[in-house]
Amino acid sequence: MHVMMNHSLKSQCKVSPGTVISGKWHGNKYSIIKELGFGANGVVYLAKYNDTQVALKMSDNGMSITSEVNVLKSFAKVQGPSSLGPSLLDVDDWQTNRGRISFYVMEYIHGPDFLSFLQQKGKSWTTVLFLQLLNDLDNLHENGWVFGDLKPENLIVTGPPPKIRCIDVGGTTIQGRAIKEFTEFYDRGYWGLGGRKAERSYDLFSVAMIMINTAYPKRFTKTTGGIAQLREAIRQKSELIPFEKVMLNALQGHYTSAKQMRTDLLSLLNDHPSSIPKQSPPKAYSTVQAKPSQGSPPISRRHYRKKKKKSSWIEFFVIAAVLAVLYSGYIFLKLL
């Protein structure tokens, strides 16, 4: 979306560290620390407000600011931990001698982006993060939204403990409308695998493309397009093969909810514990696969299962005993 980065917008919203942004309506003052990034609709800065760090997004396009604020406000109404997006702190205008600039202030979500995190911490985190992401998406979908512009750059891993968070709600669209903003590689329309209506399956397609992206950090462009090219891309990477079934389902729009995809991803891990990519280098990985004997992670997992089985038996007897007592009590009362 960087093509739309208007030159005038960029220069007008360029402010240097130390600049104090004061709101026209609410009178709050924010001191700019540094630029965090810029996108199609404006520039995001790290700023200080009363000794707390906040993120401040400004744009000379007041429409997009208002639109994003609307999304964040509706997220705030959702119950539970605010994992959907950053929480909104303030909305205001900044009057400069060059004109008026709209801005909003949100919680500063700190951490590496999705791909950098995986690069630092290793592949064993991949599945954990995807399970978290699908959980958050399910929550978002249940509330009538579709994220739209889902891509690694819009996902930050905070922590510890590591937790995935979505930033940049510029593409977030009410279900049933046309997707507001997207990025080609993660867009099913680009690959010829569906339309651009905001549906749950639109986001799930993007999730599968992010999975592909973990194995192809530089991404790739469309040649033949369609499911054939993407299937081939999956099959060429050993770390993706275990997830092929789930990914193909998502790419072809077979999942109707994020929960469904999450369940499938989980059951994949439980059915084939050895297929979880390990942190060890690829060479070691293949030897483990060749000799599926004494690897410690699979053993501990089996152990866990046995324990679980035992505890479920105990559970059964306890329930049976309670029922028996209750029933005999009932009979006893009836007889009296």
Partner 1 sequence: MYTGKIRQILLITDGCSNQGDDPIAMAALAREQGITVNVIGVMEHDVIDEKGMTEIDGIAMSGGGVSQIVYAQQLSQTVQMVTRKAMNQTIQGVVNRELQQILGRSQTMEDLPPEKRGEVMEVVDELGETVELEVLILVDTSASMKHKLETVKEALLDLSLSLNARTGENQFSVYVFPGKKNDVEKLLDWTPKLQSLTSIFSQLSTGGITPTGPAIRTALSAFSQKRSLRSLLARDDESFFEESM
Question: Least Å distance between CB 62 and partner 1?
Answer: 5
Selected catalytic residue, list 60, 136, 149, 187: 149
60 part of the active site: no
Judge whether 251 and 208 are in contact, CB under 8 Å: yes
Judge whether 118 and 217 are in contact, CB under 8 Å: no
Question: Least Å distance between CB 66 and partner 1?
Answer: 4
Question: Least Å distance between CB 252 and partner 1?
Answer: 17
Tokens of 162: 């590591």
The residue (of 69 and 169) whose beta carbon lies closer to partner 1 is 69
The residue (of 1 and 266) whose beta carbon lies closer to partner 1 is 1
CA distance 87 to 47: 15
Contact residues toward partner 1 (CB under 8 A) are: 1, 3-4, 25, 40, 62-63, 66-67, 69-70, 73, 91-93, 100, 102, 176-179, 184, 189-190, 195-198
Write b or e for each residue in 155-184: b if 16 or more Cβ atoms lie within 10 A of its Cβ, otherwise e.
bbbeeeeebbbbbbbbbbbeeeeebbbbbe
Q: Output the 3-class SS for 215-258.
A: HCCCCCCCCCCHHHHHHHHHHCCCCCHHHHHHHHHHHCCCCCCH
Where would I find the beta strands (DSSP E) of the chain?
A: 20-22, 29-39, 42-49, 52-59, 88-96, 99-107, 145-146, 155-158, 163-166, 173-174
CA distance 224 to 305: 45
The residue (of 98 and 291) whose beta carbon lies closer to partner 1 is 98
Question: Least Å distance between CB 215 and partner 1?
Answer: 23
CA distance 280 to 296: 13
The residue (of 189 and 273) whose beta carbon lies closer to partner 1 is 189
Question: Least Å distance between CB 149 and partner 1?
Answer: 12
The residue (of 100 and 237) whose beta carbon lies closer to partner 1 is 100
Query: What's the burial of 307, exposed, middle or buried (CB within 10 Å: 0-12/13-18/19+)?
Result: exposed
Query: What's the burial of 113, exposed, middle or buried (CB within 10 Å: 0-12/13-18/19+)?
Result: middle
Question: Least Å distance between CB 130 and partner 1?
Answer: 26
Q: In what order do the strands lie in the sheet with 42-49?
A: 20-22, 29-39, 42-49, 52-59, 99-107, 88-96
The residue (of 126 and 173) whose beta carbon lies closer to partner 1 is 173
Question: Least Å distance between CB 259 and partner 1?
Answer: 24
CA distance 65 to 29: 18
The residue (of 65 and 134) whose beta carbon lies closer to partner 1 is 65
Catalytic residue numbers?
A: 149
